[in-house]
Structure 1
Amino acid sequence: MTPEPRSGRPRASSREVLSEAACELFLEQGYDATSVSDITRRAGVSRSSFFNYFSAKSDVLWSGYDEQADAAIERLREGQPVAQCLTAIGAGLAPDALALAITNADAMGISVELDRDRAVRQFRLQRELATRFMRDGTPELAAQVRAGALSAAVLAAVWAWADRTAAGRPLAEVLDAALALA
């Protein structure tokens, strides 16, 4: 006897489905009032499926950026040019949950979490850049300062881009301008 096909959302869900469900809930009831269980229920998946994709609720918002930053860090470690590694973040990041969260931070009640998570990611990129600069012979203080400026420029560009997404200015363009200032 052949089982009848199930209707509804498939068991295996993508990051995008979970991210969409989370953002809907964050807008409807706020970040703090939304649990991982709420997100998985909305997405139609199990709690363990959520943790296959994300380690915490806040990671839902950052997954697109994190993928691009991880790829950039890998390229930095391989010795590719720093500017090329950083601009690739802008080329690969599309409007996603992070951009939505940035533009709706107050409505989602997520401003504090975004600031905290931004600082963590900025420091991670700074650490990798400083390591690269020192490996290439830059003195430690100069490497730290330059890395701090560049990592801050990357995140500032993401914020400026998200605030202006409707104006149609691509992130790559905003990121190039920010890196030039750093």
Structure 2
Amino acid sequence: MSFTGKVGRPKASSRETLAEAACELFLERGYDATSVADITQRAGVSRSSFFNYFASKSDVLWSGVDERIAQAIRSLNDLHKAATGDAVREVLLLIVRDFEPDPLALALRNAGAMGLDDELVRDTGLRLARLAAAVSRAASAAGVDVIRADILGAAHAAAVLSSLRVWAEHGAGLGTPDAVLRDALATIHHLPWA
């Protein structure tokens, strides 16, 4: 068998290997007792490799969802005056569509054991604020008054993040993440968009 190219882990697997190592260590030692050096040592990669993929230890958990939220925000910004409640909900469903269990799902399910309760509250709040602001901007661009737009933004963002949490905590017994989000969005469907 002959090998060509660089020796070492392929780039795609390094990210996954780092996430797996981090989750193992969070379960074994707890979040606060685990350092980036511990994660890189367990994964067998350099510290610089860690920071090629993640800005911080908590980003290991959120990177997959953050990419989906960033795409949703771009899509929401592109709606402009076409931002109806249905259009916004379709964009938000893309955040959870085909979502596979990942480090965040594992962390949400094992928050107590990993010592992540406070960290997840803080990090969820950041994502909630970003997503709520994007929905609010979309509503405002479509002519919704500011207070109603802010309420719509907060409610829709909470539906997304709560759905992910509930799905992760309860497992596949609830169905797919997008089915859970559809149910959550149905509870706020009565909020008037215009």
| TM-score normalized by the length of structure 2 | 0.86
Does 2:79 match 1:73?
Answer: no
SS of residue paired to 1:130:
helix
CA–CA separation in structure 2 for the residues paired with 1:3 and 1:25: 32
Structure 1 residue 11: deviation in Å? 6.5
SS in 2 for 1:94: coil
CA distance, structure 2, for counterparts of residue 41 and residue 4 of structure 1: 26
User: By how many angstroms is 1:179 displaced?
Assistant: 1.1
Alpha-carbon separation, structure 2, partners of 1:71 and 1:45: 29
The match for 1:34 is 34
For 2:182, the equivalent position in structure 1 comes to: 176
Q: Does 1:10 align with 2:9?
A: yes
Structure 1 residue 136 displacement after superposition: 1.0
Q: Is the 8 A contact 1:19 1:60 kept in 2?
A: yes
The letter for the 2-side match of 1:76 is L
Q: 1:52 & 1:37 partners in 2: Cα distance?
A: 14
2:50 paired residue number: 50
* Conserved 8 A contact 2:174-2:180: no
How many residues end up aligned between the 2 structures? 180
Q: CA deviation at 1:92?
A: 3.8
> Pairwise CA RMSD of aligned residues?
2.1
Could you tell me how far apart the structure 2 residues matched to 1:3 and 1:98 are?
Answer: 35
Encode CA deviations 1:4-52: one digit per residue, 9 max, x unaligned: 9998x52745321111010000001110010001111111111111111
Aligned to 2:191: none
Aligned counterpart in structure 1 of residue 93 of structure 2, from 77, 87, 96: 87
Instruction: Report SS of the residue matched to 1:164.
Output: helix
Structure 2 partner of 1:125: 131
> Deviation at 1:69?
0.9
Cα separation, 1, equivalents of 2:3 and 2:64: 37
Please give the per-residue CA displacement for 1:145-166, whole angstroms capped at 9, x wherever unaligned.
1111110111110111001214
Q: Does 1:99 align with 2:98?
A: no
TM-score by length of 1: 0.92
Unpaired runs of 5+ residues, structure 1, are none
Identify if the C-alpha distance between structure 1 residues 17 and 137 changes in structure 2 by more than 3 Å, giving closer, same or farther: same
Q: Distance in 1 between matches of 2:139 and 2:5?
A: 56
Shift of 1:94: 1.4
Does the 8 A contact of 1:31 with 1:108 survive in 2?
A: yes
Deviation at 1:67, TM superposition (A): 1.3
Q: Secondary structure at the match of 2:97?
A: helix
Aligned-residue sequence identity (percent) comes to 48
CA distance in 2 between counterparts of 1:108 and 1:37 reads 18
Please, which of 152, 157, 167 is the counterpart of residue 161 of structure 1? 167
Does residue 110 (structure 1) correspond to residue 110 (structure 2)? The answer is: no
Are 1:148 and 2:154 counterparts? yes
